[in-house]
Amino acid sequence: MSGEWQPQSAESWKVTLPCTKAESDMLTAAEPEFEVDPPAVLMTSEPDPARPDDWQLDVYLGAQPSAELLRAIVGLVPSAAGTAPKIERIEDADWVTVSQRFLEPIRAGRFYVHTAAHAETIPADAVAFRIEAGRAFGTGHHETTAGCLEALDHLALAGHVYENIIDVGTGSGLLAFAARALWPDAMITASDIDPVSIDVTAENMAINVIPADAITLIAADGVDDPALRARGPFDLIVANILAAPLIELAPDLIATLRQNGTIVLAGLLATQAADVLAAYVSQGMMPSSRIDSGDWSILTLVQAS
């Protein structure tokens, strides 16, 4: 997010363009500014985790954009060349209210995930994490991440205790944070193929007052990585990615799992659950529980005895 302002009137405008994930990362890192008053606010988001390269740029403005400003906005996104931006007038609401609408606080099990705009609404009985929308997937507002929070909470409520946990494809770090809250004595690792996600997780650890040495952060492709192998074997693996890589990674994930360990799989559509499950059952895992959240499924598996 770039720029902070308090609207002078109830009128706001939003300009929307598709972008790639690489462009989203660049925009977030560079935080481009325009000579407009009040300042523009840029936000990027991942509308659909099943299409991980297809992101979206939203530019919020306190006045109707000029043709020159629209050309400048389109120029930020080379992949959208020739695409007409979507322009919306937002009446009777300031941009903060509208832009945060899809980021209302989420309650998943004992967890409460919120942005800075809702820091005053934390329930007394909740374990709260502040996660802003930004450069990495996993704000808790998508069904897959919220479902994983519920799955972890269910494991803790059932009395499971884990000593060595890894969050594969950590994104924002949220699931690693939740695991630490549930099993504070465990050794916890958070990994992601994208180094930006590792940077974002470190930033979110600071925001949520999690000591830097409480979670080991590793940029790695999958789990067949020397740094990750040195941390294993793990007795709890959480992998919130996508169906195809979950199937591809099945042998490596199971190879780094301790005897009688647990795996939580997410990022798969309900229609893909049978194929993902088959890849793990064929290698000695058995289903323990399943959470269906919208079009998505979260699978918990344990090693067959």
Read off the pLDDT of residues 183-220 as tens digits, 9 standing for 90 and up: 999 999 999 988 888 998 999 999 999 999 999 999 99
What is the tens place of the pLDDT at every residue in 154-171? 999 999 999 999 999 998
Residue 3 has a pLDDT of 34
What percent of the chain is modeled with pLDDT above 70? 86
Model confidence at 305: pLDDT above 70: no
Task: Supply the DSSP string of 73-122, one letter for each residue.
Answer: HHHT-GGGTTPPPEEEEETTS-HHHHHTGGG--EEETTEEEE-GGGGGG-
Helix (H) or strand (E) holding 42, with range, is: strand 41-45
What are the phi and psi torsion angles at 257 (to 5°)? -95, 135
State mean pLDDT over 51-77.
88
Q: Confidence band (pLDDT; 50, 70, 90) for 103?
A: low
Residue 7 has a pLDDT of 36
3-state helix, strand, coil in the chain (%, to 5): 35, 30, 35
> Residue 209: helix, strand or coil by DSSP?
coil
What are the phi and psi torsion angles at 233 (to 5°)? -75, 155
d(CA 27, CA 29): 5
Model confidence at 11: pLDDT above 90: no
Of 237 and 244, the structure prediction assigns the larger pLDDT to 237
What is the tens place of the pLDDT at every residue in 74-99? 999 999 888 899 998 876 555 445 54
Q: How far apart are the first and last CA of the chain?
A: 49
State mean pLDDT over 31-37.
70
Q: Confidence band (pLDDT; 50, 70, 90) for 136?
A: very low
pTM (whole model) above 0.95: no
State mean pLDDT over 138-145.
65
d(CA 170, CA 230): 18
Residue 135 has a pLDDT of 47
Model confidence at 279: pLDDT above 90: yes
Domains and CATH numbers, the chain: 12-99 (3.30.70), 140-303 (3.40.50.150)
Q: Confidence band (pLDDT; 50, 70, 90) for 177?
A: very high
